[in-house]
Amino acid sequence: MFSYLGLRRLPARYAAIFLPLVLSLIMTFVVSGISTARSAGLSPGFIAIWMSAWGLSWLVAFPVLLAVMPIVRRIVGLIVETRPG
């Protein structure tokens, strides 16, 4: 089994949880940062406001991604050819 930084990789069956986990963490971080900067400005309390917004948005985004990911995969499967040829 391949290791990264001395840590073993998880089995493939965990991809269904970790893909939406990582995606939701990154997307909510970026979007909440932009939204917070736009609404509150880059004030001295910006980081605290942003982290609060990020936490709340992640709490919503992760379960939503878990619920909609199978539907999104089906839609993408209808649009994108999956076999070479």
In the chain, where are the structural domains located? 14-79
pLDDT of amino acid 7: 83
CA distance from start to end of the chain? 32
pLDDT of amino acid 85: 63
- Asked whether 32 and 54 are in contact (CB, 8 A), the reply is yes
Which stretches of the chain drop beneath a pLDDT of 70? Answer: 1-4, 85
* Alpha-carbon span 66 to 85, nearest angstrom: 31
* Alpha-carbon span 8 to 12, nearest angstrom: 12
pLDDT of amino acid 37: 96
What is the token pair recorded at 60?
């919503």
